[in-house]
Structure 1
């Protein structure tokens, strides 16, 4: 799954999305918007936790490795007190917490920078609830930032795709929620997310858009004076 929202769908995909939204809105006064973002949060705590765990684990590996090396030198050295190898071997008695802590400290900062620079690594150190909350909050913010709450009859819906988390969230305005249960949108969001993970992103997106249009048409049929209040094109982060 591509992590950058602007390359999430290619040009032909974007045109297919625009056409799907336009077709879906032909029989309803509801407004459909679809948006893709790189990630829903910076997840700074994940970089910190990841660095601590990685530094701690690698520190233990190095610690045991140094201990094994020094112990081996002791075995190989017949007269530990009269050779250079013997002097090194004596350090085996000092490979402990006093060496482990500095090793972890030295590795922590470069590892934190590494985890922060590679968003896919951060996901490994996040819980499912944290990810779900981040995507939901980012989708809600996008709903207001893109003006979906300003439609005439409060009938806007947002199909929100967060690339890094491989999550989809669908939000409806108050007019929508008064007639359509949130579980319907949750089901569609799950289908789209599953399609994206399976490499069928554009097919799943156009199918979900069509189903949104069908459901909106049942509750919010097209009005004679209907106007297109939201863009049909795929929205992305600036």
Structure 2
């Protein structure tokens, strides 16, 4: 299972930080990149995986070896559901099969919003914080901006860049894709929110994990 702490190498983390620093030399916008293991524990998906696969295994065993006995089927179902449900917790490919796409999208969006406030991106002087949020379990990327940004740039525009990062991750080029899209978004920020003479670095440029 991919872990947020080791998703990027130390060299890649330094490259991303340098990219953010370079962008912020041209804009009053403040860019933050964060990687998390997942945006939810998805207990309902684990339960569904356990009941579906565990139930199938219990049905096959009782049908082939136990004369379709309900007395054997029920404890086998319970044991199989518990075992498979626990396995799904540590097997992201299995768990993802039982999470609807809309559920993944909503949980990543909600976690990104919570992170935005927890990491105080809403406190910048000109309300120009931008969060690049990567959630590994869901294979989703979300870009969230403060209200100052949304006066000039729509969420749909930002999400197009997020989708490019997600594509890069699937292709095994996560660092390249993230740096490229940070620079692309930075170019838009520089046009609408040029750097000011008294600009200061208000938020960390280092890749955050959680």
Band the TM-score falls in, shorter-chain normalisation: over 0.9
Q: Residue 216 of structure 1 aligns with which residue?
A: 189
Q: Secondary structure in 1 aligned to 2:25?
A: helix
Q: Residue 38 of structure 1 aligns with which residue?
A: 37
Aligned residues: 210
- Looking at structure 2, the residues matched to 105 and 33 of structure 1 have their Cα atoms a distance apart, in angstroms, of 45
- Looking at structure 2, the residues matched to 3 and 117 of structure 1 have their Cα atoms a distance apart, in angstroms, of 11
Q: Secondary structure in 2 aligned to 1:27?
A: coil
- Looking at structure 2, the residues matched to 202 and 187 of structure 1 have their Cα atoms a distance apart, in angstroms, of 17
Superposed CA RMSD: 1.3
The 8 Å contact of residues 28 and 196 in structure 2, kept in 1 or not, is answered as yes
Give 1:98 deviation, angstroms: 4.0
Give 1:151 deviation, angstroms: 0.2
1:148-199: per-residue Cα shift (whole Å, max 9, x none)?
Answer: 0000000000000001111000001000011111111110000000000000
- Looking at structure 2, the residues matched to 120 and 42 of structure 1 have their Cα atoms a distance apart, in angstroms, of 14
Aligned mate of 2:178, from 197, 202, 205: 205
- Looking at structure 1, the residues matched to 207 and 80 of structure 2 have their Cα atoms a distance apart, in angstroms, of 42
- Looking at structure 2, the residues matched to 226 and 178 of structure 1 have their Cα atoms a distance apart, in angstroms, of 20
- Looking at structure 1, the residues matched to 118 and 79 of structure 2 have their Cα atoms a distance apart, in angstroms, of 42
Q: Residue 170 of structure 1 aligns with which residue?
A: 143
Structure 1 residue 154 corresponds to structure 2 residue 127: yes
- Looking at structure 2, the residues matched to 105 and 22 of structure 1 have their Cα atoms a distance apart, in angstroms, of 54
Q: Residue 77 of structure 2 aligns with which residue?
A: 104
Give 1:64 deviation, angstroms: 2.6
- Looking at structure 2, the residues matched to 102 and 213 of structure 1 have their Cα atoms a distance apart, in angstroms, of 58
Give 1:144 deviation, angstroms: 0.4
- Looking at structure 2, the residues matched to 170 and 153 of structure 1 have their Cα atoms a distance apart, in angstroms, of 18
1:4-36: per-residue Cα shift (whole Å, max 9, x none)?
Answer: 100010011001001100011111001100000
Q: Extract unaligned runs of 5+ from structure 1.
A: 68-91
- Looking at structure 2, the residues matched to 102 and 229 of structure 1 have their Cα atoms a distance apart, in angstroms, of 58
Q: Residue 141 of structure 1 aligns with which residue?
A: 114
Listed as ranges, the matches of 1:74-93 within 5 Å are 92=67
Task: Name the TM-score, length of structure 1 as normaliser.
Answer: 0.84
- Looking at structure 2, the residues matched to 38 and 194 of structure 1 have their Cα atoms a distance apart, in angstroms, of 18
